[in-house]
Amino acid sequence: MGKPKVVLGVSGGIAAYKACELLRRLTESGHDVRVVPTVSALQFVGAATWSALSGNPVSTEVWDDVHEVPHVRIGQQADLVVVAPATADTLAKAAHGLADDLLTNTLLTARCPVVFAPAMHTEMWEHPATRENVATLRRRGAVVIEPAVGRLTGVDTGKGRLPEPAEIFEVCRRVLARGVPEPDLAGRHVVVSAGGTREPLDPVRFLGNRSSGKQGYALARTAAARGARVTLIAANTGLPDPAGVDVVQVGTAVQLREAVLKAAPDADAVVMAAAVADFRPAAYAQGKIKKRDGQEPDPIVLVRNPDILAEISADRLRPGQVIVGFAAETDDVLANGRTKLKRKGCDLLVVNEVGERKTFGSEENEAVILGADGSETPVPPGLKEALAEKVWDLVVTRLS
């Protein structure tokens, strides 16, 4: 089998430079990428860059290289078309079927999945014309990623930023592997916690844990792909924001609890993938704790942190809400999991075995998902994304 063929459409916005990073990720992971910029995209990044990074010729017009690749072939032969950045103008042309350059021709001839990663000023994104164009494209089966919120060109900030190239790449990888996702979480709001809390001892030290946040980010990313509005509460992960997800950054268990309690009353599902510290230092030293010659260090006194999962499971802030917990165990994994499920009172508990090289920081996971109804769903070793998909499958059945 040859390499999957990807068309990277680039339209004319300042974020075009970020598409170079997306292109590099696509080529390095074994895709044959043909870049199709618009004429205005070349104002930002020149054809030589696209050609050098992709190893393929670059043209903007249907009349270029006609003898080699008729313009219809590029779209026909593609396994995926991704347009990043997609400007308001390109979205409008795509929605209305205009075909006045090579990119718009390619979009009309493509029969493969199409992903748009829009980037524009907030006013343009929110304009009814753009809203309707996006709705039209989604109705026809295209994936339109929600832009990120943040710094735009110049001093403006707001919604309209191109998501991180690494995250656009993740969306492409998922669509290539699994096709355009069923929007079975559309209209739902889900809250996911991720990462590991840090409990400060003094201005420079904390008690922490080895959670990377990757499983929680995979849950957030897959829920967004399935159409959910996602609030990701991230504790100390240092990972790029998943595309189309609202991220709330927290540090400690107490801050995590506040953020969960704020978001949960409006959520159809809450998934607690974060590793929450059970204890925190009883006292916080305002100044750095210093060693003193000839003296033993003072012991660190700990106090219990609130159990967020048990609290939201007991209080059920919204009727019908599905609550999912995670349990990392080292021995008697399933028996401990069952006891924990009862103790926490959640609907599903994802139980995985942890060890030095297992789970923490790795791309893969293996688990059993226990249900309060007595069900047991084994998830074979695989990417954290696959486990995330299984969790949402079980959540969706419980929501409907």
Which residue, 194, 263, 270, is CA-closest to 235? 194
Task: Decide: helix, strand or coil at residue 381.
Answer: strand
Return the number of the residue (44 or 326) whose C-beta is nearest ligand CTP: 326
CA quadruple 158, 159, 160, 166: dihedral positive or negative? positive
Residues with Cβ < 8 Å from 284, sequence gap 6 or more? 200, 201, 202
Catalytic one of 209, 236, 352, 365: 209
Q: Quick one: 307 or 366, whose CB is closer to ligand CTP?
A: 307
Provide, rounded to whole angstroms, the least separation between the CB of residue 328 and ligand CTP. 5
Q: Is 307 annotated as a binding residue?
A: yes
The DSSP string of 204-266 is TEEE-----SHHHHHHHHHHHHTT-EEEEEEES--PPPPTT-EEEEE-SHHHHHHHHHHHGGG
Q: Which of 15, 20, 88, 328: binder of ligand CTP (CB under 6 A)?
A: 328
Which of 13, 325, 347, 384 is in the footprint of ligand CTP by CB under 6 A?
325
Q: Kindly state the smallest distance separating residue 291's Cβ from ligand CTP, in Å.
A: 31
Strand partners, 194: 234
**Per the omega criterion (within 30 degrees of 0), is the bond before 85 cis?**
yes
Rounded to the nearest whole angstrom, what is the least distance from the CB of residue 142 to ligand CTP in the complex? 35
Catalytic (active site) residue 336:
no
Contact stretch for ligand CTP (CB under 6 A) within 51-59, 98-106, 146-154, 320-328:
320-328
| Per CB under 6 A, 217 contacts ligand CTP | no
- Nearest of 176, 188, 271 to residue 226 by alpha carbon: 188
Which of 138, 242, 119, 122 has the alpha carbon at shortest distance from 190? 242
Pick the closest to residue 197 from 235, 228, 171, 231 (CA basis): 235
- Would the annotation count 159 as a binding residue? no
Concatenate the DSSP letters of all residues of 338-374 into one string.
HHHHHHHT-SEEEEEE--SSSSTT-SEEEEEEEETTS
Q: How far is the CB of 275 from ligand CTP (least distance, A)?
A: 6
Q: Is 41 in the site for ligand CTP (CB under 6 A)?
A: no
Q: Judged by CB under 6 A, does residue 281 bind ligand CTP?
A: no
Selected from 326, 386, 391, 392, the binder of ligand CTP by CB under 6 A is 326
Binding mask 224-263 for ligand CTP (x = CB under 6 A): -----------------------------x----------
- Enumerate the known binding-site residues for CTP: 278, 288, 306-309, 326, 340, 344
**Would you please indicate which residues are annotated as catalytic (active-site) residues?**
209
Residues forming the site for ligand CTP (CB under 6 A): 253, 272, 274, 276, 278, 305, 307-309, 325-328, 344
